[in-house]
Chain A
Amino acid sequence: MPTHTTLAATGNSVVAEAMRQCKPNVMAAYPITPQTTIVEEFAGFVAKGKTDCEYVTVESEHSAMSACIGASAAGARVMTATSSQGLALMWEELHIASGMRLPIVMANANRALSAPINIHCDHSDIMGARDTGWVTLFAETAQEAYDNTIMATRIAEHPDVMLPVMSCLDGFITTHSIDRVSVMDDESVAGFVGEYEPRNALLETGTPVTHGAFAGLGGPYFEFKKQQREAIENARAVVSAVGAEYSALSGRPFGAIETWGMDDAEVALVVIGSTAGNARAVARHLRADGKKVGVVKVRVWRPFPYADLAAALKGMKAVAVLDRAESFGAEGGPLYLEVRSALYDLETRVPVVGYIYGLGGSDVKLELMERVFSDLADIAAGTAAPAGLVYLGAREEA
Chain B
Amino acid sequence: MANLKELTHREDRLAGGHRLCAGCGASIAVRQVLLGAGEDPVVVGCATGCLEVSTTIYPYSSWKTPFIHNAFENSAATISGVEAAFKGLKRAGKIPADKTMKFVAFGGDGGTYDIGLQALSGAMERGHDMVYVCYDNGAYMNTGIQRSSATPKGAWATTAEVGAAQQGKIQRRKDLTQIMAAHGIPYVAQASISHWKDLTTKAEKAFAVEGPAFLNVFAPCPRGWRIPSSQSVEIAKLAVQTGFWPLYEVVDGEFRHTVKVHNRKPIEEFLRPQGRFRHLFSPGNEELLAEIQGDVDRAWDRLMARCPQA
Contacts and interface: CB of A to CB of B under 8 A. Distances in A.
Interface of A: 23-26, 28, 52-54, 56-60, 62-63, 66-76, 78, 92-93, 96, 202-205, 208-217, 219-220
Contacts of A71: 81-82, 84-85, 88
7 smallest A-B Cβ distances: which pairs? A70-B81, A59-B122, A67-B81, A212-B69, A25-B88, A54-B88, A74-B85
B101 interface: yes
23 contacts: A23-B92, A59-B119, A63-B80, A67-B77, A67-B80, A69-B81, A70-B85, A71-B82, A74-B81, A75-B94, A76-B88, A92-B71, A93-B74, A96-B70, A202-B68, A203-B89, A210-B63, A210-B67, A212-B52, A213-B57, A214-B56, A214-B58, A217-B57
Contacts of A205: 41, 43, 65-66, 101
Contacts of B63: 208, 210
A54 B118 contact: no
Nearest to A56: B84
Given A205-B101, A208-B63, A74 B118 contact: no
| Chain A CB within 10 Å, residue with most, of B59, B73, B78 | B78
B86 A203 contact: yes
B88 A59 contact: no
B122 A68 contact: no
Contacts of A23: 92
A66 B128 CA distance: 15
Given A63-B122, A69-B78, A208-B66, A202 B43 contact: yes
A144 B152 CA distance: 57
A60 B78 contact: no
Contacts of B293: none
Contacts of B70: 66, 69-70, 93, 96, 212
Contacts of B74: 62-63, 66, 93
A63 B122 CA distance: 9
Contact of A203 (B56, B71, B101, B121): B101
Given A210-B68, A217-B57, 7 more contacts: A66-B119, A68-B81, A69-B78, A96-B70, A205-B41, A213-B61, A214-B56
Given A63-B119, A75-B89, A213-B56, A28 B69 contact: no
Contact of A25 (B80, B85, B118): B85
Nearest to A30: B122
B45 interface: yes
Contacts of A96: 70-71
A11 to B, nearest CB: 26
Contact of A70 (B53, B64, B65, B80): B80
A212 B74 CA distance: 13
Contacts, number: 167
A78 B71 CA distance: 19
Interface of B: 41, 43, 45, 52-53, 56-59, 61, 63-71, 73-74, 77-82, 84-89, 91-92, 94-95, 101, 118-119, 121-123, 125-126
Contacts of A53: 88
A70 B57 contact: no
Nearest to A68: B81
B57 A74 contact: no
Given A62-B73, A63-B119, A213 B58 contact: yes
A56 B56 contact: no
Contacts of B69: 211-214
Contacts of A208: 63-67
A93 B57 CA distance: 21
Contacts of A78: 81, 85
Contacts of A217: 57
Contacts of A209: 66-67
| Chain B CB within 10 Å, residue with most, of A63, A78, A204 | A63
Contacts of B61: 210, 213
A219 B63 CA distance: 19
A174 B41 CA distance: 46
A63 B77 contact: yes
Given A26-B84, A219-B57, A66 B71 contact: yes
| Chain B CB within 10 Å, residue with most, of A67, A93, A208 | A67
Contacts of A24: 88
B92 A203 contact: no
B77 A62 contact: yes
B84 A54 contact: yes
A202 B82 CA distance: 8
Contacts of A219: 57-58
B82 A73 contact: yes
A222 to B, nearest CB: 12
B85 A59 contact: no
Given A52-B88, A59-B119, A92-B71, A67 B66 contact: no
A56 B52 CA distance: 26
Contacts of B92: 23, 25, 52
Contacts of A93: 70-71, 74
A371 to B, nearest CB: 46
A26 B101 CA distance: 18
| Chain B CB within 10 Å, residue with most, of A72, A73, A209, A210 | A210
Contacts of A70: 45, 68, 70, 77-82, 84-85
Nearest to A210: B61
A268 B78 CA distance: 47
Contacts of A25: 85, 88-89, 91-92, 94
Contacts of B118: 59-60, 63
B58 A74 contact: no
